[in-house]
Structures are given as structure tokens and as C-alpha cells.
A and B are shown apart, each in its own frame.
Chain A
Amino acid sequence: MTKLYKAFSAVTALLLLYGFCQAWYIAPTEATMGNVQRIFYYHLPSAWVAFLLFFVNFLASAWYLIRRTDGADALALAAAEVGVSFCTIVLITGPIWARPIWGIWWTWDARLTSTLVLWLIYVSYLVLRHYATGGQVPVLAAALGIFGFVDVPIVYMAIRWFRTQHPQPVIGGGQGSGLDHTMWVAVLWNLAAFAMLAVLFVWARYRQALAERALEEAYIQAEGEAQ
């Protein structure tokens, strides 16, 4: 572990702690939902970070198809894996928040359904990476990463295009939408903290993916020398 990684980890830990204080103690209690609304400060940043990671996967996949570099393939894998973990958080915290507010855990509206489909697309990407064998796997995975990303704008726009149970957008949602300034501050601190956590995870996973590849090649070389 490099000194830079350790320093980045320490800053991230401090930011996460501060983000937690913002969400639990500094942001005001929402008038109609009460304390349960504080789930929002982890739910929304997790969703945005997941979208960002799937975008990184999209770019890295496209780069891999153009240049066929190991680095692009490793970055695509790392971004998808971390993106799935953030998307999992979105899909679990959403229903936990919905139950006391809507009275139901889940409904098949456009936003929730498209988010579930997004999660399934990237889980299938990881399954493909993990279980398929052969030289064409990175190419197939890159194609899936590129076409799978189409669902991200659909998830984002679902609450604008369709009437949904999910609340209307807090950005650009028209009259009556938006957030109190102190709530925005809490959202942005948590967004910064989770984005840095995602960078840490992607950084570690990227290096591991490259190390695994180098190890695999070294094993093949060693076997060749032995024969």
C-alpha cells in the first residue's frame, strides 16, 4: 500500500465521519417524514456514485474495444464491481425508506424497476467476467458494458418521463422541488465522501486486476519453461 493510498484513505475516513455528522446532527429534521428522511443523505449520493462508476465502466469498455489495453479492461472491471456495490445500497436503502413513508417496501414503478434492471445488467457483467472462459471474454464484457450503460439515462429520466411513486427530482424538478440549503450541504459532503471511498475501492481493485493478470501470465511462462 503506497503512502498516497494511505493518505487518501485517511482523508476519506475523515470525510465520511464529517458526512455522517452532517446527515445526523447538522441537517434539519424534515417536517413531514421526520428522522427517517436522513436515509436520503446516503441513498442519493450512493445512486450518483453508482451512475458515475457505470459511466467510467462505459468509457473504459469503449477504450478497451479501441485500443485493447489491459489497463482499460481492468478499470472497466473495477468500476463495474464497485458500482454494483453502490447500486446494491441504493436498492436496499430505498425500500427501507419507502416502508414507513409509502407503506410498502416496493412498487414496480419506472424508477425502481429501471434501477433493478440496471443492477441486474451489471451483476450479469460481473458473472460473465467471473465464470466465462476464453480470450473473447473481455470483448464481450466491454460490449455489455457499453450497451448496459444505456439504462443509466433511463433510470435518471424515469421520474421525468413517467408518473412514478418515487419522488420528483430535487434538481431541475420544476416548481416546488428542491432542497433546503443545509440539506444540500449534507448531500454534497456525503457525495464527496462516497466518491472518495469509490475511488479508493476502484484504485485497489484496478491494481488487483492487473496483478492477477500478470500472475496468470507468469504462471503460463513458468509452465512453458518447465516443459
Chain B
Amino acid sequence: MNPSSGNAYLYAAYIVVWAVHSLYAYSLLGRARRIRREAAELENQRQR
């Protein structure tokens, strides 16, 4: 077997790995933003 013949599959697998981890990290950032926003809203609500 030519050592390079499966390179497209290798690249695809590595892209998938980083896509999944990036998506998860992005979801964590989104959740952190939502928590901060809700905490700020609650603080405003309390001050009123």
C-alpha cells in the first residue's frame, strides 16, 4: 500500500477531532456569556 494513499482520510479524521473540540469549547464560551448576562440582569432587577 502506498503510504500516502490514505492521506485524505487522515486529514478528514484530524479535522473532525478539532471540529468537535472547537464546537464544545465554543458552547462553553456561549454558556459563560449567558451566565454573566443573566447574573447582570438579576443584579439590575435587585437594584430596581
Q: Give the shortest distance, in Å, between B41 (CB) and chain A (any CB).
A: 9
Q: Is the CB of B45 within 8 A of A222?
A: yes
CB closest chain-B residue, reference A30: B3
Number of interface residues of B (CB under 8 A): 27
Question: Hey, which chain A residues are within 8 Å of B14, CB to CB?
Answer: 39, 42
Q: Is the CB of B16 within 8 A of A89?
A: yes
Partner of B32, one of A35, A99, A201, A208: A208
* Interface size class, chain A: 20 to 34
Q: Give the shortest distance, in Å, between B22 (CB) and chain A (any CB).
A: 11
Q: Please measure, in the bound complex, the distance between the C-alpha atom of A205 and the C-alpha atom of B13, giving whole angstroms.
A: 26
Question: Hey, which chain B residues are within 8 Å of A201, CB to CB?
Answer: 24-25, 28
Binding site secondary structure of chain A:
helix
Q: Is the CB of A33 within 8 A of B21?
A: no
Q: Which of B1-48 contact A (CB under 8 A)?
A: 1-7, 9-10, 12-14, 16-17, 20-21, 24-25, 28, 31-32, 35, 38-39, 42, 45-46
Q: Which residues of A contact B (CB under 8 A)?
A: 29, 32-36, 38-39, 42-43, 46, 82, 85, 88-89, 92-93, 96-97, 99-101, 197, 201, 204-205, 208, 211-212, 215, 218-219, 222
